[in-house]
A and B are shown apart, each in its own frame.
Chain A
């Protein structure tokens, strides 16, 4: 028996059809960007999905208790909790957004918030729940606005981690510096690093060279304007930015930073924990880690407020809860997000992890003001971090325009300058050109 022509035609058509339909999917990019925005009905009911980022198994008990209490308060609501590992979290969000399958309430980091918010996939919670603003610490609510979108807010602030300064007191003193007078500006930080390099004799370094870890934060602290007022063009090609690059190049040559740290191939925790680095990572969570993993260095660790520079800004890492724009149950989703981020629930969470509440009532809890005897770095870090959250201007938002690709392009030019392949002014100029080219490309598509 031989295959008939009609059979061949049918098989070919089937394959072609499958390819074409899949092609349509590949190019279509479904997503929820064009979806109708949900509006509240006044009835808190329905089944909602809640996605968290790597909270199981350590915080399973805490999260489940929060959910159970909410369901008890709102018997018509059923919350389906799903926890996703940190690796590939953003990629999974992207895939779900493309498939139109975002959860009703979703844990967002700063970058995923910016991306989904910018793409119009998140509900305006200021519209859903306008009275909530006053419940959060000043500035936290503002973090979840987007440029050009007026007073709209696209996520409920959840827990935050402020930047602090950590340093090895012993190495500080050995370098002839006063541990009671840590640097307060980027320029002073560089001055200190120069002195450390001069005194260390190559035994230890001041800080990590990796420009990605310092930009654009350092430039913002030095008052370098990243964007034009219309936010349509990068404008960081300034004398101040050039000065920053020149100092980095000079300090790198003088041995203020481990050579390989320029490429981010060094582990900062390992170097600091090994007593090879004066300035450690600027996160309160790190102090806890160093306490567990390098107790000898922990005993010499001192904490202070972050370098704020002329604008008085500190960097914060903020987690938030976004609501899917076209959720079927906007009332249940909004009430649940507000419940998770309320004062008591956030304080409870902060007692279990090194994080801070974005909720004003929560942050006012005496737990965060306790400085102990003033000697324990972990206790001090908690108090210093909380104090900064209450007083300093928060600067979580690396602008949405500063994408990973922009950051990479800038870092590449700066790295060439630090290693002496090109001069600082050329590096900054080329970095701005590359960044603006990427911005223009992004605007075209």
Chain B
């Protein structure tokens, strides 16, 4: 029996009324574009031209397209290099700035600054640092470490490495905050007990800190893997609109944009590559989830 709340009589659908606006937005701006992308991936649609059903042709084309494999290779390489860096370096940074010493707030803020800076601004700063006549090359040449400028931005492999450095640099402060939260939850008593037992700082880090923040490390790993697979801006700003010389540093999002954009954009093919990227992301997300579950279990 329902208690008399004094409010007008509620029906079963009343809560759904409150959910409806949000649901409508999700359907319109998240679910529908996704469904549409799936549908488009089976068509030969182009900008301004509705497409006909072509079955799996776009997927077959992708698997036979050298550009697709270059982009996939770059995206996966990006992930394999960037994720370990973004799991470990912010943790080290968080441990350093966790110390309660005067002025530490400044360092925490300073390390967080790249996070709030626009990706375009960050890209431009790094462009001036890494270009042939930029800061790094000038220093290297003055110190006679190199005779010719290092082609950080004009060689595909170096460009990819440069973009990874920028991604890691920009992500450090972001994930550092995650770890600071996790470190705050590690009971001091554990460290104190270990110290009494004679454990030094390194031993305490590996025996107490790391196990305690492991769930957070797995979360950071999953999040940074998803981000790594979505990298576009760094490559675009550092390597121009062709994605490095000959397009050799293009990642999957870069290829999707290149294929699908412009008046001659192939919407159908770009959608198929988007779905393949989605599946790749899903695989890594599920992998992360599985690892997390294993840890919790």
* Chain A residue nearest to B49 in the complex (CB): A29
* Chain B residue nearest to A444 in the complex (CB): B44
Within 8 A of A (CB), among B129-170: 131-132, 149, 151, 153-155
Query: Which of B149, B240, B263 meets A94, CB within 8 Å?
Result: B263
Within 8 A of B (CB), among A390-430: 403-406, 408, 411-413, 415-416, 418-419, 421
Interface size of A by Cβ–Cβ distance < 8 Å?
47
Residues of A within 8 A of B43 (CB): 27
Q: Is B239 among interface residues, defined by CB-CB distance under 8 A? A: yes
Q: Is the CB of B49 within 8 A of A403?
A: no
**Given A23-B39, A263-B239, A29 contacting B246 (CB threshold 8 A):** no
Separation of A264 and B266 alpha carbons in the complex (Å): 24
Query: Which of B11, B39, B155 meets A27, CB within 8 Å?
Result: B39
Residues of A within 8 A of B212 (CB): none
Interface size of B by Cβ–Cβ distance < 8 Å?
44
Q: Is B281 among interface residues, defined by CB-CB distance under 8 A? A: no
Q: Is B262 among interface residues, defined by CB-CB distance under 8 A? A: yes
**Given A416-B246, A419-B155, A265 contacting B127 (CB threshold 8 A):** yes
Separation of A419 and B249 alpha carbons in the complex (Å): 14
Residues of A within 8 A of B44 (CB): 444-445
**Given A265-B238, A418-B245, A19 contacting B35 (CB threshold 8 A):** yes
Tell me how far the C-beta of A157 lies from the nearest C-beta in chain B, rounded to whole angstroms: 21
Separation of A444 and B151 alpha carbons in the complex (Å): 41
Q: Is the CB of B246 within 8 A of A421?
A: yes
Q: Is B185 among interface residues, defined by CB-CB distance under 8 A? A: no
Separation of A94 and B151 alpha carbons in the complex (Å): 39
Residue among B35, B155, B242, B258 with max Cβ neighbours from chain A (10 Å): B242
Majority SS of interface residues in chain A?
helix
**Given A260-B131, A404-B262, A445-B44, A413 contacting B153 (CB threshold 8 A):** no
Q: Is the CB of A94 within 8 A of B47?
A: yes
Q: Is the CB of B149 within 8 A of A259?
A: yes
Q: Is the CB of B40 within 8 A of A26?
A: yes
Separation of A71 and B190 alpha carbons in the complex (Å): 84
Residues of A within 8 A of B265 (CB): 405
Residues of B within 8 A of A442 (CB): 46, 264
Query: What per-residue 1/0 map shows which CB atoms of B231-274 lie under 8 Å from chain A?
Result: 00000011111101111100000000011011111100000000
Separation of A19 and B151 alpha carbons in the complex (Å): 50
Q: Is the CB of B12 within 8 A of A1?
A: yes
Query: Which of B46, B245, B259 meets A263, CB within 8 Å?
Result: B245
Tell me how far the C-beta of B139 lies from the nearest C-beta in chain A, rounded to whole angstroms: 17
Q: Is the CB of B32 within 8 A of A263?
A: no
7 additional contacts (CB under 8 A) given A97-B48, A412-B247 = A262-B245, A263-B240, A265-B127, A405-B264, A408-B241, A408-B258, A445-B51
Residues of A in contact with B (beta carbons under 8 Å apart): 1-3, 15, 18-19, 22-23, 26-29, 31, 90, 94, 97-98, 111-112, 115, 119, 212, 258-260, 262-265, 403-406, 408, 411-413, 415-416, 418-419, 421, 438, 441-442, 444-445
Query: Can you name 27 A-B pairs with beta carbons within 8 Å?
Result: A1-B11, A18-B27, A19-B32, A26-B36, A27-B50, A29-B48, A31-B48, A94-B47, A112-B263, A259-B131, A259-B132, A260-B132, A262-B240, A262-B245, A263-B245, A403-B264, A404-B262, A405-B258, A408-B247, A412-B242, A413-B246, A415-B247, A416-B245, A416-B246, A416-B248, A441-B266, A445-B49
